[in-house]
Chains A and B, each alone.
Chain A
């Protein structure tokens, strides 16, 4: 499994961009990077995922380095409701078809958005 490394905590001012880094230096060529977040006492929520190219959706942008050894999740205008633990995950397929897999979560980054 490709392991991911994230800082344990970060702060961000409300209205500013939050940039959350993730290192995945052992990621293999067919592994995707997924980002989730978990607000206190709730189940994790999907944010975004990518393989090689940068991705953007209504929640966030994902920037993956050219060597794929790291990525950054960007919340363009952080709000107080974005305070949560953010998880970066590398997807590990069980077989060559890639249809089965095992997801491994690390400890994530606690993002605190301050007023």
Chain B
């Protein structure tokens, strides 16, 4: 089974701290994603990556950066955490989509609270 593992399930950080959210997938997928999910707003794409060292901005990249130094790992970085970044963060990975069988696999989510 495909496994997407997010390093922390629950985190509490202080305003201004630098925060790292780590994600690892075990299926050699080219594509990896970071979403955040807030009540009433659904899932919103922050950043995605289609190859090592490659990244593309999603719909809400402000206040975030990402790093993909190895194919299996995709990190989300909050340079200076703010309270409006309190949210659930979801990592996902996939092979190239389209055709039969290929789909996106999600991790279980990381609940971040910034105080």
Contacts and interface: CB of A to CB of B under 8 A. Distances in A.
Given A46-B103, A93-B98, A107-B40, A102 B109 contact: no
Nearest to B43: A105
Interface residues of B, number: 28
Contacts of B74: none
A106 interface: yes
A81 B114 CA distance: 32
Interface stretch (A19-27, A37-45, A61-69, A71-79): A37-45
Contacts of A94: 50, 56
B25 interface: no
Interface residues on A, range: 20 to 34
B45 interface: yes
B1 to A, nearest CB: 12
Contacts of A105: 35, 42-45
Contacts of B97: 32, 91, 93, 98, 101, 103
Interface of B: 4, 30-31, 33, 35, 40-45, 48, 50, 56, 58-59, 90, 92, 96-98, 103-109
Given A30-B98, A43-B4, A43-B90, 9 more contacts: A44-B43, A44-B90, A93-B98, A98-B98, A100-B31, A101-B98, A103-B97, A105-B42, A107-B41
